[in-house]
Amino acid sequence: MGLIGIEWVQEYNGRWEDPANTRQNAEGFYNTLLNATKNFAHGNNAAQDKHFEQKGAGFPTAGTATTHVEKVDMVYFAGHGTWLGPQFGVLQDDAVAKPAEIRWGNGRLKWVVLNACDVLLDNSVNHAIDRWGSAFAGLRYILGFASVTSDEPHRGQIFAQYVNAGNTIRDAWVKACQDTEKSSTVWAYMRADGNGVTTDQDTWIAQASATTKPNPADQVYYVNGAC
């Protein structure tokens, strides 16, 4: 079975308005996904940007991804976000997991869900592949949003239900977003192919225990659409 972890923030300590439903959102995924072993669940001040960051990459350089998100096959974050990355409530580092500090896939990590506004925003000024391309160091997918999204309590559970039903990872995310958002919201995902590995048909059951990685990434794809 694959390993999963979640991080969520409801108490932003004055940095942002406190969302009401991020814990329920993340725990819905954590408690619903089948054929999965729970590894960690960090909330509020225990959720930290450095858990997602590679030590020595970017600035600040105090990343601990090796001992946190790289220990699982899929991690689900629920909280605030901007095009700069997911936002956290405690200044253990700088409270933002910035793409320049991220190199995902060196350990087990295959899929990252960022249930947060604008993390995969793509426009004429801010290109998602330019920001996030270097994060694919064996990683298969980043799932998120290219717009503002609602503080929705059930998306994690619904996403897991679609995954349990055998949907591909990407289709499960798109369907969960369409089920829980208004049409003006823009879902998005990025994925990588490389080293003979293709990821377009990834499913949890088939790939959770895979050891081959799309590293180096020969091609990084970006897809978005209206809910």
- Domains plus CATH for the chain? 2-226 (3.40.50)
pTM, entire model:
0.97
Q: Starting from the edge strand earliest in sequence, which strands make up the sheet with 141-145, in order?
A: 36-43, 2-8, 74-78, 111-115, 141-145, 186-193, 219-226
Check residue 92 and give its pLDDT: 80
pLDDT of residue 57 exceeding 80, the answer is no
pLDDT beyond 90 at 112: yes
**Paired residues of 222 in beta bridges:** 190
